């Protein structure tokens, strides 16, 4: 990744809907050069797709939480089975397999605290492989709008 690639990624993270012509204008390069660079970034797997940033409250998911989960026995089969189960739940936004005291971290979004409580009791506590879980309600979330390579001195 050179400086131009880094700037393309930064600008697309800020607004992925801008046209190739607008992106090229902002970069000060020809549209054909810009298009080839974006295609190259996509081929190399730097750009994996374009996504809409959705307001979870507008989807009736105003309450978000992080649920730390420990599973037993701790083996590949149990991890894969639980990962598949959790990723299929409509309340689950993201599933993270983690190291340390917990084995999973689930990011969930639900209508309200009653639905969160029901999710924990009805969906999780009934699973035999779950040895324990802790829940942290999310009050606010702030995301970095434009990530760059950590070894990039300009980033």
Spans of all domains in the chain = 3-43, 56-138
CATH of 3-43 among 1.10.287.470, 3.40.50.720, 3.30.1330.10, 1.10.10.10: 1.10.10.10
- Tell me phi and psi for residue 36, to 5 degrees: -65, -40
Residue 88 in this model has a pLDDT that exceeds 90: yes
Instruction: Give the span between the Cα atoms of 82 and 30, in whole angstroms.
Output: 49
% of the chain at pLDDT higher than 70: 97
Q: Which residues contact 112 (CB under 8 A, 6 or more apart)?
A: 62, 63
Residue 3 in this model has a pLDDT that exceeds 90: yes
The confidence score (pLDDT) of residue 152 equals: 58
DSSP state of 102: -
Strand ranges (DSSP E) for 37-145? 63-71, 92-97, 104-110, 130-138
The confidence score (pLDDT) of residue 54 equals: 87
Give me the residue label for tokens 């080839």: 36
Cβ atoms of 65 and 117 within 8 Å: the answer is no
DSSP state of 100: S
CATH of 56-138 among 3.30.70.920, 3.50.50.60, 3.40.50.150, 3.40.50.10860: 3.30.70.920
């Amino acid at each position: 990744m050179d400086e131009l690639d880094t700037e393309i990624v930064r600008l697309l993270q800020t607004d992925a809907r801008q046209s190739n012509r607008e992106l090229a204008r902002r970069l000060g390069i020809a549209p054909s050069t810009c298009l080839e660079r974006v295609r190259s970034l996509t081929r190399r797997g730097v750009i994996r797709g374009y996504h809409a940033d959705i307001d979870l409250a507008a989807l009736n998911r105003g309450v978000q939480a992080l649920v730390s989960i420990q599973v037993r026995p701790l083996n590949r089969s149990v991890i894969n089975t639980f990962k598949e189960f959790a990723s299929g739940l409509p309340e689950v936004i993201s599933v993270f397999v983690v190291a340390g005291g917990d084995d999973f971290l689930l990011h969930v979004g639900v209508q309200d605290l009653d639905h969160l409580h029901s999710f924990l009791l009805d969906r999780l506590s009934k699973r035999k492989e779950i040895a324990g879980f802790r829940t942290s309600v999310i009050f606010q979330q702030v995301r970095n709008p434009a990530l760059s390579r950590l070894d990039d001195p300009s980033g």
